[in-house]
Amino acid sequence: MTRVALAFSGGLDTTVCVPLLEEEWGYDEVVGVTVDVGQPEAEFAEAEETADALGLEHHVVDARAEFASMCLDSVRANATYQGYPLGTALARPVIAESILDVAKENDCDAVAHGCTGKGNDQLRFEAVWRASELDVVAPVRELGLTREWEIEYADEKELPVEGGNEGVWSIDTNLWSRSVEGGDLEHPGHVPGEEIYEWTRSPAGDTEEVELTFENGYPVAVDGEEMDPIGLIAHLNDVAGEYGVGRTDMMEDRMLGLKVRENYEHPAATTLLNAHETLESLVLTKEERDFKKLVDDEWSQKGYEGLVDAPLMSALEAFIEATQTRVTGTVTIRFEGGQARPVGRDSDHAVYDESFASFNTEDVGDITQADATGVAKYHGFQERLAAKVLAEAKETEALTDGAGAE
Q: Which residues are catalytic?
A: 13, 92, 121, 170
199-223 in b/e burial notation, b at 16+ Cβ within 10 A?
Answer: bbbebeeeeeebebbbeebbbbebe
SS3 of residue 406 by DSSP: coil
Q: How many CB atoms lie within 10 A of CB 23?
A: 11
First to last CA, the chain: 100
Nearest to 320 by CA among 219, 220, 229, 217: 217
Between CA 349 and CA 214 the distance in angstroms is 12
Q: How many CB atoms lie within 10 A of CB 261?
A: 19
CB 335 within 8 A of CB 245: yes
Q: What are 60's strand-pairing partners? A: 34
Between CA 311 and CA 18 the distance in angstroms is 35
Contacts (Cβ under 8 Å, ≥6 apart) of 333: 209, 210, 211, 212, 271, 274, 275, 340, 341, 342, 343
SS3 of residue 324 by DSSP: helix
Nearest to 114 by CA among 92, 134, 145, 138: 138
* Amino acid of residue 405: A
Tell me how long the chain is. Answer: 406
Output the CA torsion sign for 74, 80, 85, 91: negative
| CA 8 distance to own-chain centroid | 23
DSSP code of 195?
G
Query: Cα–Cα–Cα angle for 75, 77, 83, nearest 5°?
Result: 80
